[in-house]
Structure 1
Amino acid sequence: MTVSDIELSRAVSHALRHEPWLYELELDEEGWAPVGQLLAVLREQGGGWESVDRGSLERMLSTATKRRHQLDGDRIRALYGHSVPGRVRRLPAPPPARLFHGTAPESWAVIAAGGLLPMGRQYVHLSVDRETAVLVGGRKSAHPVIVRVDAAAAAGDGVTFYEGNELVWLADRVPARFVDVVE
């Protein structure tokens, strides 16, 4: 019995994004954790987990459809999606001119009035294209509303953006004046 890349990705995401204390991990201010500690605690689960090693992590990262984690020497981190207490520090970056956000239809009125807020996450998650936003919004509704963000104007007005990966951008918040619904 072996652990699939999907199972490994879910466990690593849970450990690095949501409850590192359950895995006896301490994240630094940028969300990094020691690879050796993560592997040791995963192996303690027994069964197929006993064979999880650095090669397993590297394979999981190379075959993933979305880049969710980053491996750097003897450390690993989740790139986005954190709900841990305390804020994971990100470096500001100039965003693409337009970004998108998929959401449930009942959320649009709240967004139109108050803008995009991180809700239970540390940052607002934005997609680089409409197609990705449709997929993300599809997790919230069978008929998601796709919100377009004028990221260039927002950045010009002082909104800070951070690159999550090649498909995901992050922001502290996006005021309502920079969002509209894609037709």
Structure 2
Amino acid sequence: MDIRYKTYYNQHMSKSLEDTSKFLSYVLRHEPQAIGLTLDSEGWADIAALIEGARQAGTILNRDLIQQVMDTSDKKRFTISEDGLRIRAAQGHSAKTVAITYPEKIPTEFLYHGTAARFLESILKEGLRPGKRHHVHLTQDEQTAVAVGQRYGKPVVLKIEALRMHQQGFKFFLAENGVWLTDWVPPEFLNADLDK
């Protein structure tokens, strides 16, 4: 394969997989009705219905492309059911019909949340709230938090005293892809690392 074509092909495929991942996130987390899709309370959608709804909306989607997105994603945003017939987003839902039952877990001593510096004043005053999502998303990995914060501007990493929160009655859940979830993080459990 010609090196220029290979470079073009790899960039195009990467863009195609990224676009497909964004499309799947949109319909499986937020707006399934945009393509006539129905999610059950655990967030599952029929893959055949997803492919057909995407086609009617003008988006080309097939099982191979869905599998490529899953295989190449380091974030593991999606899960396919054991029978291979259904798919769901691992977390991050705002769709009101979805109420996934995540396993409750005892967190590590500290978890992290990445955000942008422009949101810091509000967060330190009100704590971390889920916004339109169902939960606040946290990670055990500080570098992941930095990467998330960079998506929104100058990154700030918030260090959450998760174990202390848990000991005071706050519940934590662990999504299939390793993202920690909680309903709210009050300001007294937050420390901001401004040196990122």
Give SS of 1:128's match: coil
* Alignment-derived partner of residue 45 in structure 2: 33
Which of 180, 185, 190 aligns to 1:169? It is 180
Residues 87, 122 of structure 1: 8 Å contact kept: no
Which of 58, 83, 101 aligns to 2:67? It is 58
Which of 135, 142, 146 aligns to 1:123? It is 135
- Listed as ranges, the gaps of 5+ residues in structure 2 are 1-11
* Alignment-derived partner of residue 146 in structure 1: 157
Query: Larger deviation: 90-99 or 71-80?
Result: 90-99
Which of 98, 104, 107 aligns to 2:119? It is 107
- The number of aligned residues is 179
Distance 1:130 1:140 in 2: 16
User: Which structure has the larger Rg over C-alpha atoms?
Assistant: 2
Which of 81, 84, 90 aligns to 2:92? It is 81
Give SS of 1:134's match: helix
Distance 2:105 2:41 in 1: 18
Give SS of 2:188's match: helix
Distance 1:53 1:87 in 2: 24
| Identical-pair percentage | 35
- Listed as ranges, the gaps of 5+ residues in structure 1 are none
Aligned: 1:155 with 2:166:
yes
Give SS of 2:105's match: coil
Distance 2:161 2:89 in 1: 26
Q: CA deviation at 1:27?
A: 1.1
TM-score after normalising by structure 2: 0.82
Stretches of 4+ aligned residues off by more than 4 angstroms? none
Q: CA deviation at 1:45?
A: 4.4
Distance 1:125 1:67 in 2: 14
Query: Larger deviation: 160-169 or 122-131?
Result: 160-169
Q: CA deviation at 1:125?
A: 1.2
Distance 1:97 1:86 in 2: 33
Q: CA deviation at 1:99?
A: 0.9
CA RMSD across the alignment? 2.2
Residues 93, 162 of structure 1: 8 Å contact kept: yes
